[in-house]
Amino acid sequence: MARITLQALAHSYRAAPTKPADYAVQEATHIWDNGGAYALLGPSGCGKTTLLNIISGLVNPTRGRVLFDERDVTGLPTESRNIAQVFQFPVIYDTMTVRENLAFPLKNRRMPAALIDSRVAEIARLLDLTPHLNRKARRLTADSKQKISLGRGLVRPDVSAILFDEPLTVIDPHLKWELRSKLKEIHRKLDVTMIYVTHDQTEALTFADKVIVMSEGAVVQTGTPEDLFDRPAHTFVGHFIGSPGMNFLPCVIEGSRAIVSGHVVQLPQTYPVVRGSKVELGIRPDFVQLVPAGHGIPVRVERIDDLGRTRIARVSLPQGDQVAATIPLGATVDSNAAAIAIDPSRVNIYVDGFRLTPEEGKI
Amino acid sequence: MDKPYNNKAWLMVLPVFLIVAFSAILPLMTVVNYSVQDTFGNNQFFWNGLGWFQELLDPNSELGGRFVDALWRNLLFSMMVLIIEIPLGILIALSMPRHGWGVAASLVVLALPLLIPWNVVGTIWQVFARSDIGLFGWTLNKLGIDYNYVSGVLAAWVTVIVMDVWHWTSLVALLCYAGLKSIPDAFYQAARIDGATRWAIFRAIQLPKMRRVLIIAVLLRFMDSFMIYTEPFVVTGGGPGNATTFISIDLVKIALGQFDLGKAAALSLVYNLIILTVCWIYYTVMTSADSDEGSAAP
């Protein structure tokens, strides 16, 4: 069981990195608590897999140290670290049965046969693999194979952290939910740190206690799913989390008044004075409603997306800024005379992309 | 289900039928024709029915005895070649570099023996293994080993087998290398995390993933070594005595040396059938075992 500390860690795949753009992972320090469920979330190529491989020891960082509790493991090879990793594609040993697959890591560590049997039986029960124990592993479906991959990690009594590298990529959608709840269940039962890399926000938000959003090698925000939804630290997080992403409207801030497109939005909190920078008002589409003209900021309706549960209107402000707004249930839309109403309690203000902390009042 | 059935489509296949007929079926039929006749030259042929086949399959007759002896030599040769070349090829493939300039370099070096014509390979070894002027044979004799492939049966066999290993191990190595290259890195990473030893990685990952190419490699090497002709013909000429007279060498002796076209035709048909049967059984067994286990492909 371990707390994982990444100390002033940076990594570059180039031999002689000079500028920040050379780094796949920008220098930063992170502390991940023992027993937590973390998700590393970001678009492809943002450095999340590199970060994961540094923790597992498959990649040696260019700079900085990796600590498990107080132990420096930076120079240790993968097999000497107390971690297990589940990969994007199920890794199973084709010629072995499920039982032999699960026993493999223990056999390699020369554990007594009786102990191996009991561990394998226990983990197989946990993963619902007991009926398949004597079948050839290659004959199982992709989700069962992925469970075997996970099982080979769980079966080791010394494992303190399990790393997942987009483990549900090849799993059928209807089984994804099942497998993900299985992961949650296992996380609750066993006191083990789980770090989960994904570019799928639904996976990250449903799996993790803490989500770490990455972009271009840097961590943009670490927080609970609620934090990321309600208070994105950066416009990137606002865009990336939520579907559709957060709206950002150019505005002027005067204390607790935000002026958008000539209309005043009265905010419940007061902001410090900012000058000369790009100031934007961020609001989730869920909290922007399309209303009849005269009840808000006038807009032109571009198109309407029916998402089944809700309808989203794509509208534009007179200056051309695009906004996504929710259409209230049962409302009829008059495309020629529409406006948007912003819920002031859900507004965040961004200066040059970063969230501005209000002086008083709170969300 | 009324599918439109267009008979004109057969016209598209006709050229292939014609080519196959002229290139394979007609020549084969002439062999079948010869195998049921006897000739005393002058283009005079006499009907002999299944006589040649009966003689061929009777080990007590002159022809049958020769055939059985040569068949055993062929089987022994193929077994030896497979036993040496397959493990050696795997070993070479495992020790080849996976990245950098070494990949291209080792591929070129490995491909070299495969690019040399058969009779040139034979000539190379004929000279190389000579005990008077050949580097290989001369060195062995200097080391105190009595080695002369012209007079010694063992020396002749060693020469022929080493020559085949030199010529064809590359093929096995290249096939295995291709199989190894197709294993995703994640497998090796997972094995490291599982604490697998080098041997365990080979047994649990590399060998199973090479299975398909190994089936092909064994098939190709069996077929080819069972049909061996040129290299031993150039080096030993089938001798000393009949020690390295394989079926194909004997076949040429009968057909061109003695001009016994009937015997030769019967022999080549049986020879052909043996290769076809062995390959078919082997391939069917291997692939059916494969599909048995692999209903859910990875």
- Work out the percent of chain B whose per-residue pLDDT is above 90: 32
H helices of chain B, in order, are 9-20, 26-35, 51-56, 62-95, 101-115, 118-128, 135-142, 153-181, 185-193, 198-201, 207-226, 230-235, 247-252, 261-293
- Chain B residue numbers with beta carbons less than 8 Å from the beta carbon of A96 are 204
In a domain, B236, yes or no: yes
pLDDT of residue B290: 62
Q: Do B194 and A87 touch (CB under 8 A)?
A: no
More confident residue, B9 or B206: B206
Q: Is the dihedral of CA A235, A239, A240, A242 positive or negative?
A: positive
User: Residue B129 has which token pair?
Assistant: 């293994």
Contact A130, A124 (CB under 8 A): yes
Instruction: Name the average pLDDT for chain A.
Output: 85
CATH assignment of A4-239?
3.40.50.300
Complex ipTM more than 0.90, yes or no: no
In a domain, B90, yes or no: yes
Shortest CB distance from B294 goes to which of A89, A138, A149?
A138
The tens digit of pLDDT for each residue in A162-194 reads 889 888 888 888 888 888 888 888 888 887 888
The tens digit of pLDDT for each residue in B56-67 reads 888 888 888 888
pLDDT of residue B173: 95
In a domain, B97, yes or no: yes
The tens digit of pLDDT for each residue in A134-158 reads 888 888 888 889 889 988 988 888 8
Shortest CB distance from A79 goes to which of B192, B204, B293?
B192
Is residue B292 scored above 70 in pLDDT? no
More confident residue, A340 or B294: A340
How many whole angstroms separate alpha carbon B262 and alpha carbon B34?
5
Is residue A219 scored above 80 in pLDDT? yes
- Chain B residue numbers with beta carbons less than 8 Å from the beta carbon of A85 are 189-190, 193
Give A104→chain B minimum CA distance, Å. 7
More confident residue, A319 or B96: B96
In terms of Cα–Cα distance, which of A20, A107, A32 is closest to A69?
A: A32
pLDDT of residue B94: 93
A-B contacts (CB, under 8 Å): 68
Look up the domain containing B167 and give its range: 59-292
In terms of Cα–Cα distance, which of A275, A209, A282, A217 is closest to A245?
A: A282
In a domain, B144, yes or no: yes
- Chain A residue numbers with beta carbons less than 8 Å from the beta carbon of B205 are 93
Give A77→chain B minimum CA distance, Å. 9
* A363: confidence class by pLDDT, cuts 50, 70, 90: very low
In a domain, B186, yes or no: yes
In a domain, B193, yes or no: yes
- Chain A residue numbers with beta carbons less than 8 Å from the beta carbon of B293 are 136, 138-139
Start-to-end CA distance of chain B, whole Å, equals 35
Domain count along chain B: 1
The tens digit of pLDDT for each residue in B180-193 reads 999 988 899 899 88
Question: Which residues 6+ apart lie within 8 Å of B106 measured at CB?
Answer: B96, B97
Element (H, E) at A235: helix A235-240
pLDDT of residue B296: 39
Is residue B294 scored above 50 in pLDDT? no
Instruction: Name the average pLDDT for chain B.
Output: 87
Contact B219, B279 (CB under 8 A): yes
In a domain, B11, yes or no: no
Give residue A232's identity as a one-letter amino acid code: P
Residues in chain A: 363
Q: Scanning every residue of chain B, which has its alpha carbon at the shortest distance from the alpha carbon of A109?
A: B195
What's the CA angle centered on B148, arms B145 and B153, to 5 degrees? Answer: 105
- For chain B, say whether A111 makes contact (Cβ under 8 Å): no
pLDDT of residue B2: 65
Interface probe, candidates A80, A93, A156, A160, chain B, greatest B C-beta count within 10 A: A93
In terms of Cα–Cα distance, which of A55, A147, A119, A246 is closest to B193?
A: A55
Give domain limits for chain A: 4-239, 247-355
Q: Do A58 and B189 touch (CB under 8 A)?
A: yes
What's the CA angle centered on B113, arms B111 and B115, to 5 degrees? Answer: 70
Is residue B297 scored above 50 in pLDDT? no
pLDDT, mean of residues A281-310: 87
Do the domains A247-355 and A4-239 match in fold?
A: no
Q: Is A287 helix (H, G, I), strand (E, B) or coil?
A: helix
Question: Which residues 6+ apart lie within 8 Å of B87 measured at CB?
Answer: none
pLDDT, mean of residues B20-41: 86
Question: What strands lie across the sheet with A4-12, from one edge to the other?
Answer: A23-32, A4-12, A63-68, A71-72
pLDDT of residue B107: 93
pLDDT of residue B298: 37
Q: Is A274 exposed, middle or buried (0-12, 13-18, 19+ CB in 10 A)?
A: middle
In a domain, B24, yes or no: no
- For chain B, say whether A93 makes contact (Cβ under 8 Å): yes
Give φ, ψ of A29 to 5 degrees: -115, 130
Tell me the pTM: 0.76
Question: Which residues 6+ apart lie within 8 Å of A123 measured at CB?
Answer: A102, A129, A151, A154, A155
- Chain B residue numbers with beta carbons less than 8 Å from the beta carbon of A136 are 293
Q: Scanning every residue of chain A, which has its alpha carbon at the shortest distance from the alpha carbon of B194?
A: A105
Give A184→chain B minimum CA distance, Å. 22
Q: Scanning every residue of chain A, which has its alpha carbon at the shortest distance from the alpha carbon of B294?
A: A139
CATH of the domain at B184: 1.10.3720.10
How many whole angstroms separate alpha carbon A176 and alpha carbon A60?
32
CATH H-level superfamily of A247-355: Nucleic acid-binding proteins (2.40.50.140)
In terms of Cα–Cα distance, which of B197, B193, B241, B230 is closest to A152?
A: B193
